[in-house]
Amino acid sequence: MTNADMVTTAPAPSTASALDDIIEILYRPSAVFARRRADPKFWGALIIVAVLMAVAMYLLMTNMSAAIESQYSRQIQETARTNPQRAEAMANMRGMAMTMGKIIPVVIAPIAILLLGIFTWLVGKIFGANMNLNHGFVIATMAWVPRVIGTIVSAVLAMLMGGEKLQGMNVVSIGPARFLDPLTASQRDQALLMRLDVWTIWATILIAIGLHVIGGISKGKAAAAAFVLWLVATAVQVLPVLNQ
């Protein structure tokens, strides 16, 4: 084979932009993952997704401020039954906690995406995926797009509902948690059912598609790996409120 032949048969680099990937992941996920298998660029898409998520989270937390304060008050009351001193400290920190509640989600978005990428790569390797760490970041970044959409939808719902109906984050979710009464349902049940909303399931499916297309493993193994990642993330959210 001549050098000319090699140049002719070499795959052309992808000309799709990060924004193209973010848009196309909504309706052509396999195509996005296929082109990023050979060209695993993710920083541009990660920055765009993180900024959009930060804006969406700020809007959501602003629209939900009354509900968050109400929920915080209930937590103080529940804590007071078993630990009055801690409840008093929580009451004194109310203002700072409300402010940090708006700031932390903005800061944590890119960190959460990178952590998901690392775990996606590790779990993918366990299931036999042929991929590097950058591929894990690509999959995690693309899987976060439905979460951005979900946060925007929740922010809009919170703005439209307002008033006494906004008693908890679950009431603006799109899933079974929406039907729980935040005043009577346990935090454990709310956290668990929030993991069954449309956006989380969509993100999990995208992870499975990414592991199959990029990692080259079977659809069954990819689905199993994505489910393991879902279980790990669910445990992280549910265990802290397991007894609440």
pLDDT in tens, 64-111: 776 666 666 666 676 667 767 666 666 666 666 666 666 776 778 899
Residues 6 or more apart from 46 whose CB is under 8 A from it? Answer: 110, 113, 114, 137, 141
- The answer to which of 124-128, 181-185, 194-198 has the lowest mean pLDDT is 181-185
- pLDDT (0 to 100) of residue 164: 67
- pLDDT (0 to 100) of residue 8: 40
Sorting pLDDT into bands at 50, 70 and 90, what band is 1? very low
CA dist 91 and 76 (Å) reads: 7
CA dist 24 and 28 (Å) reads: 5
Compute the mean pLDDT over every residue in the chain, rounded to the nearest whole number. 84
Given a contact cutoff of 8 angstroms between Cβ atoms, the answer to whether 114 and 42 are in contact is no
Residues 6 or more apart from 213 whose CB is under 8 A from it? Answer: 30, 33, 34, 37
Q: Per-residue pLDDT for 6 more than 50? A: no
pLDDT in tens, 119-167: 999 999 999 999 999 999 999 999 999 999 999 999 898 888 866 677 7
CA dist 175 and 199 (Å) reads: 9
At CB < 8 A and 24+ separation, what contacts does 221-230 make?
221/127, 221/128, 222/127, 222/129, 224/127, 225/123, 225/124, 225/126, 225/127, 225/129, 228/123, 229/116, 229/119, 229/120, 229/123, 229/204, 230/195, 230/200, 230/204
pLDDT: is 26 or 66 the higher one? Answer: 26
Q: Per-residue pLDDT for 62 more than 90? A: no
Distance from CA of residue 39 to its chain's centroid?
24
- pLDDT (0 to 100) of residue 186: 82
Sorting pLDDT into bands at 50, 70 and 90, what band is 3? very low
CA angle 194, 196, 201 (to 5 degrees): 125
- pLDDT (0 to 100) of residue 131: 96
Q: Provide the whole-model pTM.
A: 0.83
pLDDT, average across residues 20-48: 95
